[in-house]
Amino acid sequence: MDNYAYIALFAVIGVAFSIFVMLLSWAIRPHRPSKVKLEPYECGEIPFGNAWRQFKVGYYIFALVFVIFDVEAIFIFPWAKELLNFKAKGLGVFAFAEMMIFIAILVVGLIYAWRKGVLKWD
Amino acid sequence: MPTITLQQFMFGAIALVILGSAILVATLRNIFHCLLFLALSFLGVAGVYLLLSADFLAAVQVLVYIGAITVLMMFALMMTHRVMTTDISQSLTQWWLAPLPIALGIFAVLFRVYVRHGGQALVDTKHHAVPTTGIIGQALLTRYMLPFELASILLLVAMVGAIILAKEDKSDDPA
């Protein structure tokens, strides 16, 4: 609980500081807007159209596959934390093999996605 | 109780964030703003997990619910034609029929727990809680080995299913 108090303190200071900086710059800056200044900055590209437009459907399937691998990563964290403990008890190979089976099953899914052309960007 | 502890204060603050953003999710007209408040609500739930000393679960909540599921919904929104700039209002007049029994059911369960345990804390959060990640890892690799591997198959099925549903069937060209 004490450690989380530090995190909470950190979050509060972080939010307060960003609000403070924005208010400060708002208070001391000159305000002379022009058309060029108000344009969104896109790394030198000249923006076109509305940002709130319909996006490419291809993003969605990437997000779907990402959710799966995100959950896979969740399982890897506690395993990684305990792997050395298992090794100390002489069960290192066992623990390692378990995770390799887990990942191998999911690699089947990745290969399936690849073969189906999900990973291709066209 | 004359004074409230830091924990009770934190719980109150987090509960306010969750309930406030959940109400905004249900009432705001711009569906994109609803989604942003849904993420805030998820973050609040992660805070509740932390208060219950479930640190790993809190991390999972942030990684999966905010990092993946909200982003997935955001993508779905961005793909939907003109939905982001349109104000959508609730047209169903009996909308409360769905949440009301759910809310009453949850309340009944919680009330029963409260009556049975006489307001006593069910989870010991006073003492220093141990980090749970290692314990979960230990359990996954020994006692829950089979469910752990089955989870992998479940994820595989989910992925294949998602690809079949989301990918329009063109001529599949092996890469």
Residue A121 placed within a domain: no
Report the C-alpha gap between A40 and A54 in whole angstroms: 18
pLDDT < 50 positions in chain A: none
- Could you give the number of structural domains in chain A? 1
Q: pLDDT value at position A24?
A: 95
Write out chain B residues lying below 8 Å of A109, CB-based: 155-156, 159-160
pLDDT digits (tens, 9 = 90+) for B3-15: 777 778 888 999 9
Give φ, ψ of A42 to 5 degrees. Answer: -125, 55
B133 burial type by CB count under 10 A (0-12 exposed, 13-18 middle, 19+ buried): middle
Fold of B6-143: Four Helix Bundle (Hemerythrin (Met), subunit A) (1.20.120)
Minimal Cβ distance to A79: which of B80, B140, B160: B140
CATH number at residue A57: 1.20.58
Chain A, residues 27-86, CB within 8 A of chain B, namely 50, 52, 54-57, 59-61, 63-68, 70-75, 77-82, 85-86
Phi-psi region of B113 (alpha: psi -120 to 50; beta: other; left: phi over 0): alpha
DSSP strand E in A1-122: where?
none
Instruction: Return the pLDDT at A14.
Output: 96
How many angstroms separate the CA atoms of A102 and A80, rounded? 13
* Whether the predicted pLDDT of B175 surpasses 50: no
Q: What's the ipTM? A: 0.71
pLDDT of residue B145: 85
Asked if residue A55 is part of any domain, the answer here is yes
The answer to whether position A69 is within a domain reads yes
Q: pLDDT of B68-125, one tens digit each?
A: 899 888 888 887 766 666 666 667 778 788 889 999 999 999 899 888 887 666 666 5
Q: Are A69 and B158 in contact (CB under 8 A)?
A: no
* Domain span including residue A83: 3-116
8 Å CB contact between B175 and A115: yes
With CB atoms and an 8 Å threshold, state whether B81 touches A5.
no
- Of the candidates B116, B170, B123, B47, the one whose C-alpha atom is nearest the C-alpha of residue A7 is B47
B133 vs A78: CB contact, 8 Å cut-off? Answer: yes
Predicted TM-score (pTM) of the model is 0.77
List CB contacts (< 8 A) between B68 and chain A.
63, 66-67, 70-71
Q: What are the DSSP calls for A23-52, one per residue?
A: HHHHHHS-----HHHHSPPBTTBPP-S-SS
pLDDT digits (tens, 9 = 90+) for B20-48: 999 998 888 888 888 999 999 999 999 99
| b/e B57-76 (16+ beta carbons within 10 angstroms → b) | bbbbbbbbbbbbbbbbbbbb
The alpha-helical segments, DSSP class H, found in B28-54 are 31-51
Q: Does the pLDDT value for residue B135 go beyond 90?
A: no
